[in-house]
Structure 1
Amino acid sequence: MTQDERPAGGALARAQHEHWQHTYTEHPGMYGGRPSEAARYAAEVFRAAGARRVLELGAGHGRDALHFAAGGFTVHATDFSPVALDQLAERAEAAGVAVSRAVQDVRRPLALPDASVDAVFAHMLLCMALSTAEIEALVAEVRRVLRPGGTFVYTVRHTGDAHFGTGVAHGDDIFEHGGFAVHFFSRALVDTLTEGWEPVEVHAFEEGELPRRLWRVTQRRPSR
């Protein structure tokens, strides 16, 4: 493992890295082969905006990255789990689509040039075990790598979720259940992350068991 592949941050970040590596190893393809509803929405938004180059953050084993690639986008997928990215590579080869990939801990600067992508997608990546300061720094990095007028679609679990305020508390609205640590977003945090952007939509939805309660946020880097 290279320096850039080692998890940044403290003990919680390292524990989460180990937990996700183990989870993907024990449960390959754990989210199935169908793209998320958020990815289907994002593909339509990106296509309408004329996007060609898509960056996915926290791609996991690739169900959404493969959906974008099959839709004709040039896709660069990142995750901090090499195990997940190996599974993504196998799935891409089997599907006959091209997806470039790289190990990326989003606590570090994104390894891409300025204004190098047309769109960025992140399904429940921002609500991992990231501090508010780390989330703000990541959104600034997303803005940097997006071209002017580029679109950012992300989803996060929010403070209306049934798991918010329960489980193991780590501070900064981060709570852990079953080994998975989640930063639950307040609406104030979402609004803070739109500063300097053109906000398009904040859409509430539910997903999976419990059910998880999320926001899907669409915002655009200003053209000027």
Structure 2
Amino acid sequence: MYGEEPSGPAVHAAGVFRAAGARDVLELGAGHGRDALYFAREGFTVEATDFSAIGLEQLRRGALAQGTDGWVTTAVHDVREALPLPDGAVDAVFAHLLLCMALSTEESRALVDEIRRVLRPGGMFVYTVRHTGDAHYGAGTAHGDDIFQHGGFAVHFFPRALVDALADGWNLEEVHAFEEGDLPRRLWRITQTLPR
């Protein structure tokens, strides 16, 4: 759907992860793996999770073809459940467009709590979401909690207050506005770190 090239947010994340000395990256919602494979090519050890076993199989085939299979592991996972990692297992977490899936605010808060649990002290979390300034916000079928279904796909559009709430207890390093796609979709790229 999105091609083989890494997303812009992944390229940015790799730079900030490297500058912070991160080695281990957890990608949530990895899909067929364009970003996970990029992280592996950049020298990170990657744990990639997704709800789709088919997408992760494509990711594994891609890693094998690129010679990065020793750097990438995968796990089928529903982010509404506890992350399949022990406490303090990774240096960084990346999630492009995952939190703005049809997850309730309560589910997003629980997920960010899980991300906090699996990160080491000083760990980084970079994620992207569509926000309430997006052209599709308010369009289609309303499901409450700023979730709207348009064209068969439900999106949770984030107000800025939710970004700030999810950063409570973190250091909020950046909220960067950008656009992507043909509409274009309007997004924020959020970078936050755990205190050491």
Q: Residue 159 of structure 1 aligns with which residue?
A: 132
Q: Secondary structure in 2 aligned to 1:150?
A: strand
Percent identity over the alignment is 72
Instruction: Give how far 1:31 is off.
Output: 1.2
Q: Residue 71 of structure 1 aligns with which residue?
A: 42
Instruction: Give how far 1:96 is off.
Output: 1.1
Matched, 1:36 2:4: no
Q: Residue 83 of structure 1 aligns with which residue?
A: 54
Give the residue type in structure 2 aligned to 1:65.
A
Give the residue type in structure 1 aligned to 2:91.
D
Q: Secondary structure in 2 aligned to 1:130?
A: coil
Instruction: Give how far 1:203 is off.
Output: 0.4
CA RMSD of aligned residues (A): 0.6
TM-score (norm 1): 0.86
Instruction: Give how far 1:190 is off.
Output: 0.3
Q: Residue 53 of structure 1 aligns with which residue?
A: 24
Instruction: Give how far 1:89 is off.
Output: 1.0
Q: Residue 105 of structure 1 aligns with which residue?
A: 78
Give the residue type in structure 2 aligned to 1:41.
H
1:6-17 matches, within 5 Å, as none
TM-score (norm 2): 0.98
Q: Secondary structure in 1 aligned to 2:32?
A: coil
Q: Residue 147 of structure 2 aligns with which residue?
A: 174
Aligned pair partner of 1:150 in 123, 135, 154: 123
Instruction: Give how far 1:51 is off.
Output: 0.3
Q: Residue 109 of structure 2 aligns with which residue?
A: 136
Instruction: Give how far 1:83 is off.
Output: 1.2
Could you tell me which runs of 5 or more consecutive residues in structure 1 were left unpaired when the two chains were aligned: 1-29
State how far apart, in whole Å, the 2-side matches of 1:37 and 1:43 are: 10
State how far apart, in whole Å, the 2-side matches of 1:101 and 1:134 are: 22
Q: Secondary structure in 1 aligned to 2:186?
A: strand
Moved over 3 A (4+): none
Instruction: Give how far 1:95 is off.
Output: 1.1
Instruction: Give how far 1:107 is off.
Output: 0.3
- Number of residues paired by the alignment? 194
Give the residue type in structure 2 aligned to 1:84.
G
Aligned pair partner of 2:97 in 124, 129, 135: 124
Instruction: Give how far 1:186 is off.
Output: 0.2
Q: Secondary structure in 2 aligned to 1:215?
A: strand
Give the residue type in structure 2 aligned to 1:105.
D
